[in-house]
């Protein structure tokens, strides 16, 4: 097994980081990796906001409702960005109404995710740890406001990066025979039976966020997650519409 894959298989979320920042040279490499990431039709319609201002970090941590976010040495927000190309077209005397297409939005959203994961792999290859912050969507409109995101942009995913100050267990994952299917989707008759061992394995996992306590079985976590939808989590479609994208044909 090569070193790249070996490191990928060791991925764990890191939420607490050492105090010191990332060397400039390494950060530049991460940005270059972002730059070289595959992008839909070569359009590069996604961008990154690097948050260095502590007050802004605090505000984002507030939206995420996770105080460790404010302590991340690097905090990047990956965004959909159709604004730049819209302006480029405008300077060439073409007003691109199609920049607002929801399909273009999805293409850019995809690009932003690919870029984020490429940066994560690069960071981990340098011994850095990372934490994805889907929780920026607790209040997407607030994030747009904090980062002064113009029309035709949209926050996709946050990412904290730094040198790990914790060493969590590898988190158990379900067997891929339940997640990889040949030629057509396969529905199982009895999932609880299929994940029995996995459910048991999950009970032996210690979550560093609640040390000393093992966690619920996977199936219990699924029910709990479905039951307790985050009430603060607004409908993302509203935020998408407010940023100028068209949700209808």
Residues 151-170 that bind a second copy (CB under 8 A): 153, 156-157, 170
- Of 153, 172, 160, the residue nearest 66 (C-alpha): 160
Question: Among 16, 21, 56, 164, which residue sits at the site for a second copy (rule: CB under 8 A)?
Answer: 56
Question: Among 165, 203, 220, 242, which residue sits at the site for a second copy (rule: CB under 8 A)?
Answer: 220
Q: Are 49 and 146 in contact (CB under 8 A)?
A: no
The pair of three-digit structure tokens given for residue 97, joined into one six-digit string: 């109404």
Question: Among 15, 17, 22, 51, which residue sits at the site for a second copy (rule: CB under 8 A)?
Answer: 51
Give me the sign of the Cα torsion angle 113, 60, 211, 229.
negative
Q: Are 102 and 236 in contact (CB under 8 A)?
A: no
Q: How many amino acids of this chain bind a second copy (CB under 8 A)?
A: 113
Separation between Cα atoms, residue 144 and residue 146, nearest integer Å: 6
Min dist. Cβ of residue 212 to a second copy (A): 19
Decide if residue 24 touches a second copy (CB under 8 A): no
Binding mask 60-89 for a second copy (x = CB under 8 A): -------------------x-x-xxxxxxx
Decide if residue 107 touches a second copy (CB under 8 A): yes
Question: Among 1, 19, 20, 167, which residue sits at the site for a second copy (rule: CB under 8 A)?
Answer: 1
The pair of three-digit structure tokens given for residue 202, joined into one six-digit string: 């999950």
Which helix (H) or strand (E) segment is 193 a member of? Answer: helix 191-194
Q: Are 128 and 10 in contact (CB under 8 A)?
A: no
Q: Which residues contact 209 (CB under 8 A, 6 or more apart)?
A: 15
Query: Between residues 2 and 212, which has the closer beta carbon with respect to a second copy?
Result: 2
Query: Between residues 20 and 228, which has the closer beta carbon with respect to a second copy?
Result: 228
Decide if residue 106 touches a second copy (CB under 8 A): yes
Min dist. Cβ of residue 221 to a second copy (A): 7
Min dist. Cβ of residue 96 to a second copy (A): 4
**Structure letter (DSSP) for residue 177:** G
Question: Among 16, 21, 68, 121, which residue sits at the site for a second copy (rule: CB under 8 A)?
Answer: 121
Query: Between residues 5 and 24, which has the closer beta carbon with respect to a second copy?
Result: 5
Report phi then psi at 145, rounded to 5: -70, -45
Q: Are 108 and 85 in contact (CB under 8 A)?
A: no
Min dist. Cβ of residue 91 to a second copy (A): 5
């Amino acid at each position: 097994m090569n070193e790249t894959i070996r490191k990928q298989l060791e991925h764990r979320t890191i939420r607490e980081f050492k105090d010191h920042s990332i060397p400039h040279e390494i950060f530049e490499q991460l940005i270059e990796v972002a730059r070289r990431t595959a992008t839909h039709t070569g359009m590069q319609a996604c961008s990154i906001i690097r948050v260095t201002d502590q007050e802004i970090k605090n505000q984002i941590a507030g939206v995420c409702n996770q105080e460790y976010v404010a302590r991340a040495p690097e905090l990047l927000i990956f965004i959909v960005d159709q604004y730049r190309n819209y302006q480029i077209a405008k300077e060439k005397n073409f007003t691109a109404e199609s920049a607002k297409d929801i399909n273009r939005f999805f293409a850019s959203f995809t690009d932003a995710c690919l870029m984020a994961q490429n940066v994560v792999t690069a960071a981990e290859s340098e011994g850095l740890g990372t934490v994805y912050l889907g929780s920026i969507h607790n209040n997407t409109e607030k994030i747009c406001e904090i980062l002064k995101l113009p029309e035709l942009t949209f926050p996709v995913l946050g990412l904290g990066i730094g040198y790990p100050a914790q060493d969590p267990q590898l988190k158990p994952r379900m067997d891929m025979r339940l997640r990889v299917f040949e030629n057509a989707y396969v529905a199982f008759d009895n999932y609880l039976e299929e994940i029995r061992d996995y459910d048991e394995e999950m009970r032996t996992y210690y979550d560093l966020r609640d040390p000393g306590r093992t966690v619920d079985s996977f199936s219990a976590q699924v029910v709990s997650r479905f039951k307790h939808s985050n009430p603060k989590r607004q409908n993302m479609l509203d935020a998408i519409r407010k940023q100028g994208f068209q949700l209808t044909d």
